[in-house]
Structure formats: C-alpha cells, structure tokens
Amino acid sequence: MTVVRRQLARRWVVVGAAALGLAAVPAVVGAVPVSPPATGLATLIGRMRASAVQPFQGYAVSSGSAGLPAIPQLGDVADLLNGDTQLRIWYGSSSHWRVDVLGIGTERGTYQLPGRQVVWDFGRNLLTEVDGDPPIRLPQGSDLTPPDLARRLLSAASNDVTLAPLPARRVAGVAAAGVRVTPRSAQTTVAHIDLWAEEKTGLPLAVEVTGRGAHDPFLVSRFMEVSLAAPAAAVLTPPDVHGSMGYTVANGADISGPLTTFRFALLPDRLAGQPRPVTDSSVWLETPQGRFQVEYGSGIGTYGTGLAKFLVLPLSRRAGFDVINRITRANGNPLTYPTGRGVQISTPLVSVLALHSDVSEQTYLMVGLVEPKLLRQAATELVTFPGGR
C-alpha cells in the first residue's frame, strides 16, 4: 500500500469513527429536559427567515426516502432525496461560507465567496472556480443544510400556511423551539413541515418534511453537532493549487450540468388552472400563435404558487425520449393521448411526468411537490399546445 493510500484510508477511518460516535450523541443529550419556549410562533418563524445573518459551524446529516428514480436530467436530485447526505458546514455570512459533502472515500467542498464559487473535489483532485451565478440550477448538497433547507421551504410556502407549536427538544445539545408549518393548498403533496430552531437567533437546527397520508417524514435534515461561533477565516479559504492538483475555470452557465439538456420552447401562460408567475427576468414574445411569456436565459416554466408549484422543462429530442424510457423502466404509469404519449411516476413527496407532444414535436419533463393528478391535468393541456420551439 502506498503512502497516499495509507493516508486516505486513515482519513476515512477517522471520518467513519467520528460519524458513529456522533450518532450516539442525540440519544444522550435528548434526555436533558428543555424549557417551553417563550417566543410566539410568528416571531419564531420571522427569526428563522432572517437567520441568514447568524454565523455558525457544525456537522449535519440529511436523510431522504422519497423513492425517486435516477433521472440524469434531474442531476443529483434523486441521490439527495434517497439515502443519507453527510454535511460539514462553516458559515460566516450569505456570501462567505463552505459546505463539504462527505461520502465513503469522497469529499466535495463548495466555497461561496463574494461573486463566485470554488468547488474542491477531493476524490478527483480537481479545483473548479465558478464565476458568476448560473441563471438556473438544480438542488445541490449545500441546499440540504438545516438552515438553508428551512429558509427555502419557508420562502416557497410563503404565508399560505397554518402554524402550530411542537414540543421543544434538544438538537445537537442545543435547546430548540419547534413549530409545525402546514400548507393550506390541497394541491401539494407536503402534509406538513416540522422545524426546530435556536430560540434567540432563529437558526434552524432540524427540518422534517412529511407527505400526505404518511406517518414518518420523507426528508429529515438535522445537526448532529453545532456551534453558533463564527468560523475562522482560514477554513473559509479554498486550497491553493499545488502539485498534481487539477484546476479549471467555469462560468455560472457551464456549471449547470444536466440543465444543458433543456432547450428553449414556448410554454403556455397557464396550466391546470395554475398561473405562470411574472418575474423580473420575464420577457414577452409576439408569435403567430399569440403572446407568450418566457424566462430570460431559460425555457423553463414555473406554475402555481407556494409549495404547490411545479416546473415544466422542455428537453432535447434525445434527452426527452431517454427520460421517458427511464421512467417507463422504473414502473411508471403510461399515459396515452390522441396527440402524444407520456409516463408518470409518483412518490409520496415528488411527482414526475414526462410527455411528448406530436403537435409541437416537443418533449417535456414536469416535476413538483404536487399531487399526481395536477401534473396529469397539465399534461392533457400541454400535449395539444402548438407553441413549439
């Protein structure tokens, strides 16, 4: 065994031992009594939304059991929602943080710096510098940290929710106040989101997402250890390029990965009764078929509001038929139309539908935390839509 291999083996033996040791911590500290919170629910939610100003560092684990099949056009989404993701986090501010995603023999660190990101892939010995933000991107490991996941879910849910108190508990040894967030919309598959946060700062420490009709959550992210101290500047600094380390530079659009399989296509302004929100990046095109809203820099359509929101992603012909075949092989439910065909697969949390329209000669991928029937209704309308490319 070479010196490098011995060092690598020792490194991951230590990581594995640490993970096993940390797994035993919650059972011990969870037995320590927690005083009932003195903060009102609305105030607690407000502090969670504003908690991006709070520095911290810690180790968290995200566990998913959504049962979503692997679909290349959705990148690593299936991996993030199925199985465990170990996260080591150092957070100084919203523009200066680092998240390492740990695996068996792998480590991928993302460094957020003002105006750019640096990604250090330990397994590939490659440093990638990313200039600018991508116009759109798929979820990544850093989105699963308890604070970031909680804030994203609260932002998506908006104010169309009801709040209920949960018993306080200790998370990673920290007393945490709990609140259950229940969407009012009947269109979403999310039954409720349970959040626990440090009461004074509002820093989210644990997140549990449960689907309708389910007893256990399908997505859980929680700290195993956490400190509210700011990380040292050195730990937020990417490594210098040296020796045999590879180095590359990419812009925000290049790093989008699977998003390059999406293509520009005109989409309707409403689907299944759900509006397509107008955003700052929206532009309008006049065509022989009418006036259509498109997102500048992408052909992706977003429909609905709150957690009852779904995406429509136009695909290239090759990628479109590939995703239809993959969902079919994963025991997807075939759908037939006079002017096209589709296939749908649904988990208790995520619904996915792939559709090919003979009218527009376009293939679409639809996905969201929505009831399967909503996507089927949208597909019935989209399969006859003449917008085309």
Domain ranges within the chain, ordered by starting residue: 3-255, 262-382
* Chain CA centroid to CA 67, Å: 15
- Integer Cα distance of 41 and 92 in angstroms: 27
Residue 8's pLDDT is: 42
- pLDDT per residue as tens, the chain (389 positions): 444 444 444 444 444 544 445 444 444 444 456 766 778 999 999 999 999 999 999 999 999 887 777 776 665 676 777 789 999 999 999 999 999 998 766 788 999 998 889 999 888 889 988 876 655 566 788 899 999 999 999 999 888 899 999 999 999 999 999 999 999 999 999 999 999 999 999 999 999 999 998 889 999 999 999 999 999 999 999 998 888 888 888 765 444 444 445 566 788 889 999 988 765 444 454 555 555 555 443 467 889 988 999 989 888 888 888 889 989 998 999 999 999 999 999 888 889 999 999 998 899 999 999 999 999 999 999 999 986 54
Residue 281's pLDDT is: 46
Count of CB atoms situated within 10 Å of the CB of 82 = 18
Query: Which amino acid would we find at residue 221?
Result: S
Nearest CA to 325 out of 341, 343, 307 is that of 343
Domains 3-255 and 262-382 share a fold: no
First to last CA, the chain: 56
Residue 386's pLDDT is: 87
Residue 244's pLDDT is: 85
Q: What is the pTM of this model?
A: 0.80
CATH match of 3-255 with 2.50.20.10: yes
Query: Which two tokens mark 114?
Result: 């003002």
Query: Which two tokens mark 184?
Result: 């009012």
Segment 318-364, tens digit of pLDDT: 888 888 998 999 899 999 999 999 999 988 888 999 999 999 889 99
- Integer Cα distance of 333 and 327 in angstroms: 8
Cα 145 to Cα 142, 200, 226, 371: the distances in Å are: 6, 19, 12, 26
- Integer Cα distance of 45 and 51 in angstroms: 10
Nearest CA to 101 out of 79, 113, 86 is that of 86
- Integer Cα distance of 351 and 367 in angstroms: 6
DSSP SS3 for 175: strand
Segment 72-127, tens digit of pLDDT: 666 567 677 778 999 999 999 999 999 999 876 678 899 999 888 999 988 888 99
The CATH class of the 262-382 domain is alpha beta
- Integer Cα distance of 229 and 92 in angstroms: 9
Residue 191's pLDDT is: 95
Residue 78's pLDDT is: 66
